[in-house]
A and B are shown apart, each in its own frame.
Chain A
Amino acid sequence: MRPVISVSHLSKSYGNLVAVSDVSFEVYEGEIFGLLGPNGAGKTTTVECVQGLRVPDSGAAEVLGLDPHTQGDRLRPLIGSQLQESSLPQRLKVWEALDLFSSLLPGGGPWGEVIEQWGLTEKADASFGSLSGGQRQRLLVALALINQPKVVFLDEMTTGLDPAARRATWQLIGRIRDAGTTVVLVTHFMDEAERLCDRLAVVNRGSLVAAGTPAELIAQHHDRVTVRVSLDSSDWAWLQSLPGVDRAERRGRTVELVGPPTMVPWVGKVLVDHGCVPSDMAVIRPTLEDVYLRLVGEEVE
């Protein structure tokens, strides 16, 4: 499959501060691709280079077959942007914003449908400054989509939203993808990335530290599972000595074994062999959060 975005060896520094260092990744048509990393990891700089809003020091990006830096004028109409730290004039009304932005780029048709689709009809005459955080975010996303772009960039779109508004926003992102638009999602929220992204790249301190589907990342970077089971017998050496067990702990009746996923069927077998058929055997698989914390270090908030 041909990628709609390919980034190769992208680097960008601000003075002595290396913001992005040798980052490469590809985004395929119709997927939600996540750039996940702690604040200041270089995610925003990366997507801004990809959108042609910043010039990389070295490396290249190609979006929809165009160079964002030299062919930015041709690229802009094909992409949509919801930028971090961007805003609209406080006294601009919702309908005026839609009307203005639909006229700025070709492809921006009538906005009557958009305002309805994003649930802003009742707020058409409200000023941007009077909207709630969720309404503002919906308007900014609506503006990013108003010219029916092929790729849309959403940078930290749920920061500052309450949980209900976040969930509503997640549904909207799913709808964007379902409509055939490729989505590049920049976030520092692990749950958001896990919930939404088809594939993602983890960025830390300017470098890409892992990329793949959530399942691939878990398999590659956290291949240990935990088996927890209750055991009445005080003799459990046969469990500890099972091949593949890295770590075994016992607290009262509860035994915890850590090892590779292939350890699980063996645990089941030896339990049965020893006449134990517990009803509470649980296999705890690592989540993306475990992988993320391992990749970016534990100092993340």
Chain B
Amino acid sequence: MRGSLAKLTWVEIKLFLREPVTVIFTLALPLMVLYVLGGVFGNEAAGGGGDVVYRGYGPTDFYTPAYVALAVAGVALIGVPAHLVEYREIGVLRRFRASSVRQWDVLVSQLVVSLVIATVGAGLLVTAAFLFTDVTVPQAPGLFLVAYGLGAVALAVLGLLLGTVLPSARAAQSVGLLLWFVFMFLSGAGPPPEVLPSSLRTIGDWLPFTPVVELLQEPWLRGGWATTQSLVVAALVLVAAGIAWWAYRWE
């Protein structure tokens, strides 16, 4: 990493932490959701087989990996896109370009910011889950970390894509918030997918957030690896990164 890219990234991390809205969304809100829903549902697994809620796992066990994805989505979809679009709107990117900052530098620094902050948020969330709930430890911690890495990169790249294609910071913030809530409710981080009406379940199946959630849940709950989901998520990374690179504009 070039020295200037490292410095740019470090400055961007500090700037991110100075935005109260994004800090609340990324660090505090997932914790709150965990606390409230953990209190509501407990961690008692539903009995019986077949199409039972939470696929038969305890709610806290089911939700904790999903909330990890939600915490990442907060940074990647609400924080970063609006930030990047604002940079383009107010001419920060113009100024950077005149000082030889390259497209690669801008996108990579934002990607790293996304991943670093998201990982802090995810770490806080998992720590809180262990401290304050009776969540069971992941069945395969190593695989979970790999799944986390892939899922976090996918959401971060999706955020870069939003940041390059959306026309205004206001639009970026609205779209990011909307996506965050839709993902939460329809992709298994809100109500269990099993209780959703079938039309909403179908929509949920097509949302890019769903395979990310399942990717994270598989090693945590069953100690396995969700192969199909991992391929879908990897494809998402490539496509989103390609479009973001192609659609990138300095002004």
Q: Measuring CB to CB, which residues of chain A are less than 8 angstroms from any residue of chain B?
A: 51, 53, 73, 76-77, 81, 83, 85-89, 91-92, 96, 99-101, 103-105, 140, 143
Contacts of A91 in B (CB 8 A): 15, 18-19
Does B222 sit within 8 A of A, measured CB to CB? no
Which chain B residues have a beta carbon within 8 Å of chain A's beta carbons? 3-4, 7-8, 11, 14-15, 18-19, 87, 90-92, 94-101
Please report the C-alpha to C-alpha distance between residue A85 and residue B89 in the assembled complex, in whole angstroms.
Answer: 9
When distances are taken between beta carbons in the complex, the residues of chain B under 8 Å from A140 are 95
3 nearest A-B pairs in the assembled complex, by CB-CB distance: A86-B91, A81-B98, A86-B95
Q: Are B15 and A103 neighbours in the complex by a CB distance under 8 Å?
A: no
A contact residues around B14 at 8 Å (CB) = 96
Instruction: Give bound CA distance, A38 to B149, whole Å.
Output: 54
Majority DSSP secondary structure for residues of B touching A: helix
A91 and B11 alpha carbons, distance in the complex (Å)? 10
B7–A87 CB distance below 8 A: no
Given known contacts A77-B100, A100-B11, A103-B4, A87 and B18 CB-to-CB distance under 8 angstroms: no
The CA-CA distance from A92 to B95 in the complex, in Å, is 14
* In-complex Cβ contact of A83 among B4, B7, B18, B98 (8 A): B98
Are the C-beta atoms of B100 and A103 separated by less than 8 Å? no
A53 to chain B, nearest CB (A): 6
Known: A100-B8, A103-B4, A104-B4. A86 touches B18 (CB 8 A): no
| Given A91-B18, A92-B15, also A73-B92 (CB < 8 A) | no
Chain A nearest CB from B168 CB (Å) reads 15
Which of A51, A85, A89, A103 is within 8 Å of B98, CB to CB? A51
| Complex CA–CA separation, A93 to B99 (angstroms) | 18
Contact A87 B95 (CB under 8 A): yes
Contact of A53 with B90 in the complex, beta carbons under 8 Å: no
**Which A residues are CB-close (under 8 A) to B98?**
51, 53, 76, 81, 83, 86
Q: Are A103 and B91 in contact (CB under 8 A)?
A: no
Docked complex Cα distance between A96 and B92 (Å): 14
How many angstroms from the CA of A76 to the CA of B3 in the assembled complex? 18
Q: Of the candidates A73, A92, A103, which one forms a contact with B7 in the assembled complex, judged by CB atoms under 8 Å apart?
A: A103
Given contacts A53-B97, A86-B92, 19 further A-B contacts (CB under 8 A): A76-B98, A76-B100, A81-B99, A83-B95, A85-B94, A86-B94, A88-B92, A89-B92, A91-B15, A96-B14, A100-B8, A100-B11, A103-B3, A104-B4, A104-B8, A104-B101, A105-B99, A143-B95, A143-B99
